[in-house]
Amino acid sequence: MSLEQEIKLQVSQDESLDLEKLDWLMAMLEQPGQRIHLLSTYFDTPARDLQQFGAGLRLRQIGEQWLQTVKCTGKAENGLHQRNEWEHPLAGPEFDTALLKQTELAPLVEDTAVWNALTPLFTTEFERLVLPLRLEDGTRVEMAYDRGQVRAGKRQAPIHEIELELKQGEIKKVQQLADRLKAALPLQYSDISKAAQGYKLSQAFEK
């Protein structure tokens, strides 16, 4: 288990951001940015047992790699998201229930009725530009610029955001970086996770 701490910033324009124009940001790069394609499927029961329990479950594909992830709802305030996370690599697109039983989701995994009712609820698919940053004081931040869609049935909504995840150091340094980005680019702090966006879209689709 790890405590995920990240600040989320919503892009308030349709056009893509040109991050390379920010010389001060590029100066923080530890290594060149990497572009990756992420496809994630989120699972729950028709009764939303996982959501009510306060946890989320997804399968994510990155190229040939598969990951299963459990995240607790945690808390989000002024763009800062803090939650417990369990992430494990998989051999393929099948859950490893033994590993899931080592997470906070264990009671629901062990409940046969709940587990057998599990179904894909919505998907997110986006291109991510990953920028590994090292701040002056040694704080390390993974900056992710995401652009794509969340889909539930025939409904879809855009994903266009920046996430700043603390990897090493103090979260207040990430906050200072976020403030500087917000002053330079059309960004707004967001407390809405991709999962929350997907749940909202799936509920609208079912009505």
Give me the percent of the chain exceeding a pLDDT of 70. Answer: 98
pLDDT tens sequence across 109-135: 999 999 999 999 999 999 999 999 999
Beta-strand runs (E) in the chain:
2-11, 34-44, 55-62, 65-72, 75-77, 80-90, 119-134, 140-152, 155-168, 187-189
User: pLDDT (tens digit, 9 = 90+) per residue, 94-106?
Assistant: 999 999 999 999 9
Asked whether the predicted pLDDT for residue 201 surpasses 60, the reply is: yes
Q: Is the pLDDT assigned to residue 206 strictly greater than 80?
A: no
As given in the structure block, the two tokens for residue 22 are 């920010």
CB 144 within 8 A of CB 117: no
Domain spanning 2-206: CATH 2.40.320.10: yes
pLDDT digits (tens, 9 = 90+) for 17-56: 999 999 999 999 999 999 999 999 999 999 999 999 999 9
Is residue 45 within 8 Å of 119, Cβ to Cβ? yes
Where do the domains of the chain lie? 2-206
